[in-house]
Chains A and B, each alone.
Chain A
Amino acid sequence: MKFRTFAMFVGPSIFLMVLFIAAPLVSVFLQSFQITQPVVEMQEVETCTAGFLTQTCTTETKTVPKLDEFGNIVTTTEWVGLLSYQRVLQLDAVGAAISSGNWGDILNIDFWKALRFTLTFTLITLPFVIGMGLAIAMVVNNATKSMKGPVIFVSLLPFIITPVIGALSIRWLFYGDGIVTVWLEALFDTNLSVAANGWAVEFLMMFYRVWHVAPFAFVIFYAGLQTVNQDTLESAIIDGASRFDRLRYVIVPHLMPLIVFITLIHLMDAYRAFEEVVGFSSQAQRITLQWLTYDLLQPDDAGNRAISRASASAMLTMIGIVIILMPPLRRTWRDHKGG
């Protein structure tokens, strides 16, 4: 295909991606090395605020940003190198924790806490998503033909539901006196407080993720199972392969590209987990990297946002993603060269 033709096919897509993804990304990259500040001055301000019956007036010195003649805030932008990265990573605190032997202190720093949880979350849910997906695909494939339609339909439900709502629906079953908690309490005759326990919350977040994503893995594996070569299966039987052997030597290798595909998608999605933190209000116990960036970007009541640190945290998240994606990308590169 000639370059011109190629460009015409790909052009619109590239245009959209450059405008709405690459351009913001470049600005995020630049902002992570910059700090933009308003020029402030101290001013005596008399403020009168409302009370129920009377006003209270106070005079205090406030820092107020300077305005230029057009009424815009005067700002200065400075290149600060890696300062914002340092503020996110807090390497000196990490060093202090290591030299004093209190390794646990590292996990009190937001970034490392988020990284720890995000990695655990991503890597632990992965085998469960693949295992559950594969298991469901096989039992659905095994089900009576007339049942398959409804069964596939029901199995897909956790995947299509709006993520935050799905998380809330599980949260309500467990938090407070949620009915599942009440059942568990009756079963074990104890008093449970799920949300008070960091590990319980962590487990619940992982459970939700597996519940939500396993149907996606299922439907892909199920599609893959439809194309398993029956001849290979039959010759395996003639060779006396047991049921397990057939699974291991025929079906799984056939599904291998799909397993790689799902691994890739799952790594990317779980690494940027966000809805779980919101849905389960886990920020006291567990936070994820994307939530950390989001939190830095949320303006407080006074309108302050930590844009530089948010950009740095976003860039660090991205570096992590590239590292995680490296092995599958190398495989794709080899395929590309080979094909």
Chain B
Amino acid sequence: MLKRLLLAGAASLALSAGAQACAFENETEVSILSAGFEAWKAVTDAMIECGNVNAELDQEFRQKQPAAFAANPSLYTLGGVSNGTITPLLNEGTIRPLDDLIEKYGQNLSPNQLIQIDGHTMAVAMMVNTQHMMYREDIFADLGLDVPGTWDEVLEAAETIKAAGVVEYPLGVTMKSGWNIAQDFNNMFLGYGGTFVNADSTPNVNTEAGLNALDMMKRLTEYADPEYLVSDSTYVQQQFQQGKIAMANLWASRGGAMDDPSESQVVGKVGAAAAPLAMEGGAPATTLWWDGIVVAANISDEEADAAFRVAMEGLDEEMVKANSDAAIWLVSGYEPSKLAQGAIATATAQPAPSSYPSTSQMGLMHTAIGNELPAFFTGDRSAEDTLAAIEEAYTTAAEEAGLLQ
């Protein structure tokens, strides 16, 4: 035990010796509020090496970020956002355009990292996330199955695996009620060519695409653990690691965990492919997400300068090299591992999956879907009634938010 403590101490010393990794000595107070997952830990750790950086990786950032950035002066200089959570900051005008800062410090950024609104760069993306099909290569080889390219093929493969009885459940689904199940529906709905809202903000989910999506999801659940309404990505990942399921359409950021020997019993047996198509000739049934950094508007230019410079140190090649498994990085120098290939195939598919729409309407729609869908899966409501209920819940919320009259 003592030895381990000493080792830990030595390791932290070694880390602080690596503090020279930051190209400059930061003298201005810089603080960042972001979500708390692995990739943010990697980036903020690299930023902290510059000195005078206070990083907050907070689970409640969704609630805190808009309020904290609206304060004057802003409580944080930097923010970590995704294409969903940037919306309130943009709407309230609490983040600043970054064009001049990028000109000054952003030589290493590649053009596709720049998130532009009306020609102004408002955020710098660091990673993308999307879904990919993970499957057990050994089981697929034994049963002579091809990797499914469409959801119908997924059903066929699941039937074969079920008949062979090699695993408890052929399929894992991330359908925990609320945010997760809504995201699964969104993916499938877009895969069937649906659009969520019309140009006048009225809802548009009670359509052919909506029915198709619900039908496919319902058929998928027949091959999944009956407790799917409480299974989130963590649970599915765990089932995968324990060898209880043979395939699942999971977040790209979940890939690395399958080959983690301390958790997984299926190390080296898992392959990844692009997310399946819902219909022939369509895009993969998924959405593209990005995570990135924004700079607060309500701070002085000097502070913004220092903050952006620190942020660039956080997004350098060195950090990516050391954490290549943590995400699908957009930063130059990233070398994707075997399990990242599926996500990259998804993201580069033709036609490409659309990016998750960052609008107020989508936020309301996501909540409405997440709240109303479970009744369909517990059998309390028909598909048509469920879609109608989603539209009704969305309409109420949109009227309350002033988006609909």
Direct contact of A and B (CB under 8 A): yes
Contacts of B91 in A (CB 8 A): 38, 64-65, 73, 303
Measured between C-beta atoms, what is the minimum distance from B45 to chain A in Å? 22
* A108 contacts B63, C-beta separation under 8 Å: no
Measured between C-beta atoms, what is the minimum distance from B83 to chain A in Å? 6
B204 within 8 A of A: no
A298 to B62, CA, bound (A): 9
Q: Mark A15-59, 1 if CB is under 8 A from B, else 0.
A: 000000000000000000001011110000111111111111100
Measured between C-beta atoms, what is the minimum distance from B379 to chain A in Å? 10
A10 within 8 A of B: no
Q: Mark B363-378, 1 if CB is under 8 A from A, else 0.
A: 1101100010011011
B193 within 8 A of A: no
* A198 contacts B378, C-beta separation under 8 Å: yes
A61 to B377, CA, bound (A): 35
Q: List the one stretch of B8-16, B140-148, B308-316, B351-359 in contact with chain A.
A: B351-359
B230 within 8 A of A: yes
Contacts A51-B288, A55-B114, A299-B63 hold; do A306 and B389 have CB atoms under 8 A apart?
no
Cβ-neighbour of B366 out of A38, A194, A300, A309 (below 8 A): A300
* B119 contacts A304, C-beta separation under 8 Å: no
Contacts of A303 in B (CB 8 A): 62, 66, 85, 87-88, 91, 360, 363
A120 within 8 A of B: no
A176 within 8 A of B: yes
* B360 contacts A53, C-beta separation under 8 Å: no
Within 8 A of B (CB), among A108-167: 108, 110
Contacts of B348 in A (CB 8 A): 51-53
A306 to B344, CA, bound (A): 37
* B363 contacts A52, C-beta separation under 8 Å: no
Contacts of B115 in A (CB 8 A): 47-50
* B201 contacts A194, C-beta separation under 8 Å: no
* A284 contacts B85, C-beta separation under 8 Å: no
A87 within 8 A of B: yes
Q: What bracket does the count of chain B residues touching chain A fall in?
A: 35 or more
A39 to B43, CA, bound (A): 37
Contacts A50-B125, A302-B359, A304-B397 hold; do A57 and B352 have CB atoms under 8 A apart?
no
* A50 contacts B66, C-beta separation under 8 Å: no
A61 to B403, CA, bound (A): 13
Measured between C-beta atoms, what is the minimum distance from B381 to chain A in Å? 6
Q: Mark A264-303, 1 if CB is under 8 A from B, else 0.
A: 0000000000000000111111000000000100111111
* A302 contacts B364, C-beta separation under 8 Å: yes
A71 within 8 A of B: yes
* A63 contacts B328, C-beta separation under 8 Å: no
Give the number of residues in A that approach B within 8 Å (Cβ atoms).
59
Q: Mark B56-90, 1 if CB is under 8 A from A, else 0.
A: 00000011001000000000000000111101100
A110 to B400, CA, bound (A): 17
Contacts of B362 in A (CB 8 A): 301-302
Measured between C-beta atoms, what is the minimum distance from B198 to chain A in Å? 11
A229 within 8 A of B: no
* A300 contacts B389, C-beta separation under 8 Å: no
Measured between C-beta atoms, what is the minimum distance from A172 to chain B in Å? 11
For the residues of A in contact with B, the DSSP-based class is mixed
Measured between C-beta atoms, what is the minimum distance from A205 to chain B in Å? 13
A52 to B348, CA, bound (A): 7
Q: List the one stretch of B19-27, B209-217, B221-229, B258-266 in contact with chain A.
A: B221-229
Contacts A299-B63, A300-B364, A300-B366 hold; do A284 and B292 have CB atoms under 8 A apart?
no
Contacts of B118 in A (CB 8 A): 45-46
A308 within 8 A of B: yes
A78 to B292, CA, bound (A): 37
A256 within 8 A of B: no
Contacts A108-B389, A193-B227, A283-B177 hold; do A301 and B363 have CB atoms under 8 A apart?
yes
* B364 contacts A304, C-beta separation under 8 Å: yes
Contacts of B297 in A (CB 8 A): 71
A175 to B63, CA, bound (A): 30
Contacts A46-B119, A87-B396 hold; do A302 and B360 have CB atoms under 8 A apart?
yes
Contacts A108-B389, A196-B229, A281-B176 hold; do A52 and B128 have CB atoms under 8 A apart?
yes
Measured between C-beta atoms, what is the minimum distance from B222 to chain A in Å? 12
A195 within 8 A of B: yes
* B381 contacts A193, C-beta separation under 8 Å: no
* B87 contacts A301, C-beta separation under 8 Å: yes
Cβ-neighbour of B359 out of A62, A73, A284 (below 8 A): A62
Contacts of B117 in A (CB 8 A): 45-48
A294 to B402, CA, bound (A): 21
A67 within 8 A of B: yes
A178 to B229, CA, bound (A): 16
B111 within 8 A of A: yes
Measured between C-beta atoms, what is the minimum distance from B314 to chain A in Å? 17
Most chain A beta carbons < 10 A, residue from B85, B91, B227, B230: B230
Contacts of B375 in A (CB 8 A): 108
Give chain B's interface residues, CB within 8 Å of chain A.
62-63, 66, 82-85, 87-88, 91-93, 111-119, 125, 128, 176-178, 199, 201, 225-230, 235, 239, 244, 288, 290, 292, 297, 328, 330, 344, 347-348, 352, 355, 358-364, 366-367, 371, 374-375, 377-378, 380-381, 389, 396-397, 400-403
| Known contacts A51-B352, A52-B347, A304-B401, then 6 further A-B pairs from the complex at CB < 8 Å, ordered by chain A residue | A51-B348, A280-B230, A284-B230, A303-B85, A306-B397, A309-B396
Per CB-CB distance, the 4 closest pairs between chain A and chain B, nearest first, are A302-B363, A303-B88, A301-B84, A37-B402
Give chain A's interface residues, CB within 8 Å of chain B.
35, 37-40, 45-57, 61-65, 67, 71-73, 76, 84, 87, 104, 107-108, 110, 175-177, 193-196, 198, 280-285, 295, 298-304, 306, 308-309
